[in-house]
Structure 1
C-alpha cells in the first residue's frame, strides 16, 4: 500500500518544472517515479551537483526566467513545483515576511482577482520595502499565471501545482489555496480553477525519513482532474519526550507485530516504526572509516530555548533536522569522546536526507546544499499523492545513483549555462552569489540552495 490513495493516472506524461530546485531533492524523487523534470536554480554550487547527478538544470534567476525567457521553457511542462526561499518567514529568519504577510496576501489577490500586470505587482513590491526575498514567494503563482498567456503554451495551464516550505509559510499557502480555487486569470476573461488539498504541515519521519523535519505542503490539481489528497503517513512520528515511543524498540509495537494478521477485508495498514539513523547508515554502508556504532550527535543549535544547551540524539533515534549547518554537528562515542571523524560528513548528511549514498555532491557550501534540499523520500510521497502514482520501494533510494559522464555533464552545462565549460550571459553573476557576509548590500539576495534554510 502506498502513502496516498491513488486513482487512475490522470496525466499520461507528467513533466515537472522545479523552481528554486537546489541540489535536486525533488528531482531525485521524480526520477524514482520515472517522471522527467527541469530545475531552475540560482546557486552555482547546487548547479554543479545537479550537473554531476545528470539533472536537467537552468542556472538562472527564477524571476528573470519568468520575465525574459518563459517562452524558452519546454511547452510540455505540466507540473509546477517549488519551495521559495524562506528566511524571512522562518523562525530562524528576520521575520520580514511575517510582518508583510497582509501585504503579500493583497498582492496574491491582486494577481488573481484584479488581473494586475507584472509591472503593477513589481511596483507594489518596491513599495513593500521589506527583504527582497519576501517577494519570491509570489513566483510560483506568477509562473502559473504566465503559462496562461505564453504563446508557446497556447494558453495551457499547469495541470498540477506542488509547493513546500517551512511551517511558518502555511498561512501563505492557505492564501494560495483560496486564490487557486478562485481561479487563475486567462485570456478573454477565462478562469482556470484548481482543486486544492487541505494545506497541512507534515512531519518527514512519518514517511520513513530518518530525521525530524516539518514542512508545509500545498497540492493542487486543475478542477477537471479532481481533488488531490495529502500523502498518508506510513510511519509513526517521533516524540522527543518519549524517545522510544513509536520506534523499533517500542514494546507495544513489538507486541502488536506478534499478533495474528488482520482479518480479511481489513484495509488499514498499521504504521511502521519511525526509522533511526543507524538503520540507514548500516544499510548504505556509508559510514566514514572509524565511525562505529553506537554514536551520538550533538546539535549545533540550542535546546529548550537555551542557546548553550545542545541537544543530543543517539544513533537509535531519528536525526535532528538536517540544516545548512549540519557539518557543525559533533559526532561522539556514548562515553562523550569524539569520533575520529568529529563532524557529520556530507555523504552521511545526504543519507539522513534520504539521498542515494553515492549522490555526487559538488561545488561550494555543500552543507547548505544538503540542508536546504527536500528529502527525496518525502518528495516521493508528496509527488505520488499529487500525480496519483504508485510509490516505488524505498530501497531504490539506497541504490547507486546513475551519475553523468563528462560528455553528459558538458551537454547539461551547455543547456543550463549556455556554455559547455562555464557560465553564460543568463547565469547569475559571480559577485551576486558571494557569501552574505561579504557581498555588497546592493547584491541580489541568494535563492535556492544558497538561501533557503530548513526550520528545526
Structure 2
C-alpha cells in the first residue's frame, strides 16, 4: 500500500510505516537538512533490499561522499530520491507539489498508482502551550501555520486515500478555546472524511519516553467498514520491563565538547531493550555520538542535580533551579521554569519528553553519569526517540537535534502503522466512539458524528 508523508520532518513517522510494509510515494518537507536525512534513509532502504550494505556503511564512515551514494541509488532505483520534495506546503506551492507527486505515481506499476494513505501533521509550534506562553496567545493564533490543516485537506481531496493519520501536540485541544479541533473536523468532513481523536503516550508503544500526543485517524465516508484502529499497545506492566539505562549504558563515555568519530562499534553485550526494539540491528558503526561543550558553572549545576537524584530523588521531588546555591543562579526569573535543569534518570522506565528545544541547550537532558557531567549526545537523544543506530541525520548538530526533537518516535509510528494496515486489509479491530482507550478527545460538535458512527 502506498502513502504520502506531509510535513515529514526527519521521517520518524514514515520510518514506522515503512517498517510496517507501506511504500512511500513522496515525502514533503520544507527543511532542507531534514529532506537530506530522508534521502539518506531511502538510500539505506534501497541498499537493504539488495542486501548490499557496504556503500551505506562506507558513507557513514566518511569513505564515500554523499553525492556518490546518491548517484549509486539513482542507478539502482531511478527517481527514488526525487520523491523527497523540499517545499513548504501552501497555496503558491501546492500545485507544483501535486505535479511532483503525480510524476512519482506514474513510476509505479500499472494498477498500483493510487494513494492508500496520507500521514503527517503540520508543525506543532502554533498549537503548543509553551509557544503561546512564550510569544503570547494573540501572536500564535494569528500564525499562518495554524491553518495548515486546510492544505492537508486539499491533499485528501486530490488523492482520495482511504485513510489518513494526523499527529500533533495536546495543545491543539485548547487552541482558540477548543474551537480549532472543531474547525479541523468540519474541514475534513467537507473533504469527505470522518475522524476520531485520541490521546496517546509514546510509552504505550514501547518508547522509553513520556511523550503525549494526539493521533487523529480519518477514513473516507464511503468506507463504512473503517474506523479508528485498536492499536497494539503495551500494558502498564510491560512498560516497566526496561529502564533508560539500557538505552545509554553501552555507548562510550564522552567529555563535554567531545565528538566521537564514526568508528567500528560492536558492544560486547547488547541490552535487553536494544534487542527488543531492534535499535542496534545492522550497524557496525556508531555515528552522531557528539557532546556539546559546557561552561564549568553548568557542569557544576549538572553535578548537583545528578547527586540529588542519586541520593534518592523521585519524579515528584526533583531538585529545582531556585534551590541552587546563589552563585550558580544566573537567571533573574526564579519562579518560572524552575525545572529548566533535569536529569535523564537511568533507573526510570521512561525519560522526559524530547522536544526541539534540545537543539538550543541541553540543560533539560542531563546525562545521568556524574563522571561525564554533560547533556545527552545526538545519538543518545535519537535513541530516546527510538531511532535505530543506523539512522543518519544530515546537517549540523543543531539541525540534527531539532530534527530529532520534532520527530514522531519510529516505534510509535510502526505500531500505529501495523494497526492501520490491518484496518485497510479488512482484518483489524476498531475502537468504538464510547471506548475510553487512548483518552478519546471529542470536539464540541462531535456528538452527532459519534452517534452516527455507533449506529
Short-chain TM bin: 0.5 to 0.7
Q: Secondary structure at the match of 2:199?
A: strand
> How far does residue 375 in structure 1 lie from its aligned partner after superposition?
0.4
Instruction: Identify if the C-alpha distance between structure 1 residues 62 and 301 changes in structure 2 by more than 3 Å, giving closer, same or farther.
Output: farther
**Contact persistence 1:79–1:158 (CA under 8 A):** yes
TM-score w.r.t. the length of structure 1 is 0.56
> How far does residue 179 in structure 1 lie from its aligned partner after superposition?
4.2
**Contact persistence 2:89–2:151 (CA under 8 A):** yes
Instruction: Identify if the C-alpha distance between structure 1 residues 179 and 372 changes in structure 2 by more than 3 Å, giving closer, same or farther.
Output: same
Find 2:421's aligned residue among 387, 392, 398. Answer: 387
**Contact persistence 2:37–2:393 (CA under 8 A):** yes
> How far does residue 333 in structure 1 lie from its aligned partner after superposition?
4.8
Instruction: Identify if the C-alpha distance between structure 1 residues 25 and 296 changes in structure 2 by more than 3 Å, giving closer, same or farther.
Output: farther
Relative to structure 2, which stretch is displaced further, 273-282 or 136-145?
273-282
Question: For residue 339 of structure 1, what is the aligned residue in structure 2?
Answer: 372
Q: Secondary structure at the match of 1:308?
A: coil
Find 2:170's aligned residue among 167, 172, 191. Answer: 167
Question: For residue 79 of structure 1, what is the aligned residue in structure 2?
Answer: 117
**Contact persistence 1:205–1:213 (CA under 8 A):** yes
For each residue in 1:248-303, what CA deviation from the matched residue of structure 2 results, as whole angstroms up to 9, or x when unmatched?
Answer: xxxxx5xxxxxxxxxxxxxxxxx542643222345xx4454589x9x959999979
1:415-434 equivalence runs, <5 A: none
Aligned partners of 2:338 and 2:136: how far apart in 1?
28
More helix by share: 2
Question: For residue 382 of structure 2, what is the aligned residue in structure 1?
Answer: 350
Instruction: Identify if the C-alpha distance between structure 1 residues 30 and 97 changes in structure 2 by more than 3 Å, giving closer, same or farther.
Output: farther
Find 1:212's aligned residue among 192, 210, 213. Answer: 210
Question: For residue 319 of structure 1, what is the aligned residue in structure 2?
Answer: 351
Instruction: Identify if the C-alpha distance between structure 1 residues 305 and 234 changes in structure 2 by more than 3 Å, giving closer, same or farther.
Output: farther
Relative to structure 2, which stretch is displaced further, 72-81 or 208-217?
72-81
Question: For residue 62 of structure 1, what is the aligned residue in structure 2?
Answer: 89
Aligned partners of 1:225 and 1:301: how far apart in 2?
52
Question: For residue 362 of structure 2, what is the aligned residue in structure 1?
Answer: 329
> How far does residue 94 in structure 1 lie from its aligned partner after superposition?
3.2
Aligned partners of 1:146 and 1:301: how far apart in 2?
51
Q: Which runs of 5+ in 2 are unaligned?
A: 44-82, 106-112, 257-270, 272-304, 310-317, 323-333, 425-455
Equivalent residue pairs, number: 293
Aligned partners of 1:332 and 1:69: how far apart in 2?
42
For each residue in 1:299-345, what CA deviation from the matched residue of structure 2 results, as whole angstroms up to 9, or x when unmatched?
Answer: 999799742343334112211111123253353556xx4516x2211
Aligned partners of 2:338 and 2:100: how far apart in 1?
51
Aligned partners of 1:146 and 1:84: how far apart in 2?
18
Aligned partners of 1:272 and 1:352: how far apart in 2?
14
Question: For residue 326 of structure 2, what is the aligned residue in structure 1?
Answer: none
**Contact persistence 1:88–1:98 (CA under 8 A):** no
Higher relative contact order (CA 8 A, sep 6+): 1
TM-score w.r.t. the length of structure 2 is 0.56
Find 1:92's aligned residue among 121, 130, 133. Answer: 130
Q: Secondary structure at the match of 2:389?
A: coil
**CA RMSD in angstroms, aligned pairs only:** 3.7
**Contact persistence 1:25–1:373 (CA under 8 A):** yes
Aligned partners of 2:241 and 2:149: how far apart in 1?
32
Question: For residue 46 of structure 1, what is the aligned residue in structure 2?
Answer: 34
Question: For residue 14 of structure 2, what is the aligned residue in structure 1?
Answer: 27
